[in-house]
Structure 1
Amino acid sequence: MSKTVLVTGASGFVGSHLATALVDEGHDVRAMTRKPDAYTGAGHPVAGDVNDADSLGPALQGVDVAYYLVHGLASKDFEKIDAAAARNFAAAAAAAGVERIVYLGGLGVDDGNLSAHLRSRRQVEQLLGAAGVPVTVLRAAVVVGHGGISWEITRQLVEHLPLMITPKWVKTRTQPIALPDVIRYLVGVLDHPDAKGRVFEIGGPEVLRYIDMLTRAASEEGKRMPNLSVPLLTPRLSSGWLALVTDVDFATARNLVDSMTNEVVVRDHSIQDIVPGETIGYDEAVRLALEARRQAERTP
């Protein structure tokens, strides 16, 4: 059944693809953006900013389901900023009578040792539901697709470095997921009654170390990725190194590096009961991401 759906972060990496997929499914999509006049993606642009509580009421009026795809990493105060934004959105969604919020969060076992980034993602989950609107959460690790920050770090390291000096975190296990599978899951939980108010873990078919992701991405580009392990390379030095050889700023790099010490692996496979189907393998996900980048470069 067609629904009126709001997509926050509609201009972003995941949001832009999600808005297109929802329109293709026949939903009435509102693409929330701070600059609606400049929006050229799928759906109908509406003005709204999660950091401006007064702007959210009009954007959410008449909405059945709202996708919350907003998070920040580029500020030292991102935890406080993200928490305030989630409170604003939760209150506005409840006031507007929204049936459900769908949130894309982060994988990781909450054992008291989560990084600030993953701890913030978990806090946002709770805050989004604090005003009474049911929240469906999809927790993911690295999303492999053109334009994603974590994937861009992988791609740029492979393309820029003849030799990689690796800190300890490259041995951490993760479960990357292809962008098309993330979109499939986000769309799939929209109408399913059994997804309401639940948390799901999503990932691709393989558990890999970060070093495996780098070497296999290099192989897909016809390159080798020799590496020299330096166990004493601190998070701060690792962050500076990433900021130097990629276009990711230092603050974002530091917050991502801190998260790379946490193992992020799917342990609950119940999403398969809601949205069944095979997921895309890592090598194919890399090929799709590289092809999307080539197409983007060819587009004026």
Structure 2
Amino acid sequence: MAADSRILVTGATGFIGRRLTRALVDQGYDVRAMTRRPEGYDGPGTPVGADVHQPETLPDAVKGIDVAFYLVHSLDDNDFEKTDAAAARAFGSAAAEAGVRQIIYMGGLGADDEKLSPHLRSRREVESLLGEAGVPVTVLRAAIVVGAGGVSWELTRQLVKNLPAMVVPKWVDTMTQPVALDDVVRYLVGVVDQPEAMGRVFEIGGPEQLTYQQMLQVAAELANGRRVRILRVPVLTPRLSSYWLALVTDIDVTTGRNLIDSMVTEVIVTDNSIRDIVPGEPIPYAEAVRRALAVDPV
């Protein structure tokens, strides 16, 4: 890992980007924090103004960059598949033109041979489009990332805060493998400039496979000292579920619908080869929840 590498972080003001940028600066990297509003940026690194949805702004942002993190997606956009595809293609092309030697991308878990949700299908497409112009892409695929500020954690936090009981659809029994934000950042930093990581896809997750119901119960017990009563119903469509979420949380309907569409797909780690490159035991779910609560309590 070459600490003299010049690194660009897209989405530097986002959930993962904020923590990643700080970690990279702490490691001694020269970091550019890409944001649409550089004049208002007050985080670590050097702000640079650009927007992946405006290709003409990208050449200056990627000029002189060795490694670029691509942490952009559009959950709150009704036409996110088309929007994200165009942005990924433009960014990959600009990176290739600038001589970037590695793009690192956060994708979503889920078997390629399964019927993926539109959200997960879009993540897969972005993986390939980023490298279409020739820059090697390192992909880290994750399920739910547990940490203060993330939309999935915020959904969990608000549900256990606002509701003593929930009526939920059968997708709460779907198995997933949540991963702590601290581990995600550790893996992202760990694959920078690693020859063994170039052009490869890795799966990352915590040590436990849990259902969404189990995750809610653990969060409720740690936040409130009690379990939440859950009643499953056989029919509650993703559309109705998204309206219900918008009613009891401040998650908007479009974001909620795109999240719920992905919750019917089992997303668990089947390949632990990331640990060969970035050693270390992942953080248990309960500890990840405790860390999130310490920053953003119920």
TM category, shorter? over 0.9
Residue of structure 2 equivalent to 1:138: 140
**Deviation string for 1:172-210 (max 9, x for gaps)?**
000000000000000000032101110000000000000
Distance, in Å, in 1 between the alignment partners of 2:285 and 2:114 is: 30
Q: Which amino acid aligns with 2:233?
A: V
2:273 to 265, 270, 274: 270
Q: Which amino acid aligns with 1:34?
A: R
Q: Normalised by the size of structure 1, how large is the TM-score? A: 0.97
Q: Is 2:58 the counterpart of 1:68?
A: no
Q: Is the contact made by 2:102 and 2:193 (CA closer than 8 Å) also made in structure 1?
A: no
Residue of structure 1 equivalent to 2:172: 170
Number of matched residues? 295
Distance, in Å, in 1 between the alignment partners of 2:289 and 2:5 is: 33
Root-mean-square deviation (Å): 0.9
Following superposition of structure 1 onto structure 2, how do residues 278-289 of structure 1 map, counting pairs within 5 Å?
278-289=281-292
Name segments (4+ residues, structure 1) moved above 4 Å.
none
Q: Normalised by the size of structure 2, how large is the TM-score? A: 0.98
Q: Is 2:253 the counterpart of 1:250?
A: yes
Q: Which amino acid aligns with 2:230?
A: N
Residue of structure 2 equivalent to 1:202: 204
Residue of structure 2 equivalent to 1:43: 45
Distance, in Å, in 2 between the alignment partners of 1:153 and 1:46 is: 31
Distance, in Å, in 2 between the alignment partners of 1:72 and 1:261 is: 20
Distance, in Å, in 2 between the alignment partners of 1:236 and 1:62 is: 45
Distance, in Å, in 2 between the alignment partners of 1:112 and 1:224 is: 33
SS at match of 1:32: strand
Residue of structure 1 equivalent to 2:235: 232
2:57 to 55, 77, 88: 55
**Deviation string for 1:222-268 (max 9, x for gaps)?**
12211111111111111111111111100010011000000000001
Residue of structure 1 equivalent to 2:12: 10
Q: Is the contact made by 2:34 and 2:61 (CA closer than 8 Å) also made in structure 1?
A: yes
Greater mean alpha carbon deviation, residues 24-33 or residues 239-248: 239-248
**Deviation string for 1:122-167 (max 9, x for gaps)?**
0000000000000000000000000100111111111100111110
Q: Which amino acid aligns with 1:43?
A: G
Alpha-carbon shift at residue 112 of structure 1 (Å) = 4.5
Q: Is 2:264 the counterpart of 1:261?
A: yes
Residue of structure 1 equivalent to 2:160: 158
SS at match of 2:104: strand
Identity of aligned residues (%): 64
SS at match of 1:104: strand
Residue of structure 2 equivalent to 1:184: 186
